[in-house]
Amino acid sequence: MGRKHSIFSIQSEEVNTSTKKKAVIRSGITIPHALEAIYQQMRIARNRIRTIESYDYIFFSSYSSMNM
């Protein structure tokens, strides 16, 4: 005997999916402003200038590639 309901049976239900992404508006500080706060904390913690500059370069590279 065959199955009464196949696992591959298709029902006539329509599924509405939105393909448009809604813009998300967030309140907060900008990335450059947040990075400046982090660098200030690093200076207060007496991190080496070279370390801070390395972080600055890495974050600048990442941030620049996101804006392209």
Query: In the chain, where are the structural domains located?
Result: 31-66
Going residue by residue through the chain (68 aa), what tens digit of pLDDT does each one get? 555 555 555 566 666 666 777 777 878 888 888 889 999 999 999 999 999 999 888 887 777 776 65
Whole-angstrom CA distances from 8 to 4, 13, 14, 22 are 12, 14, 16, 33
- Residue 51: its pLDDT value, please? 93
Q: Which position has the token pair 């813009």?
A: 23
Two tokens at 31?
Answer: 């990335």
Q: What is the enclosing helix (H) or strand (E) of 49?
A: helix 49-66
CA nearest to 38, candidates 56, 19, 65: 56
User: What is the C-alpha to C-alpha distance for residues 32 and 56, in angstroms, rounded to an integer?
Assistant: 10
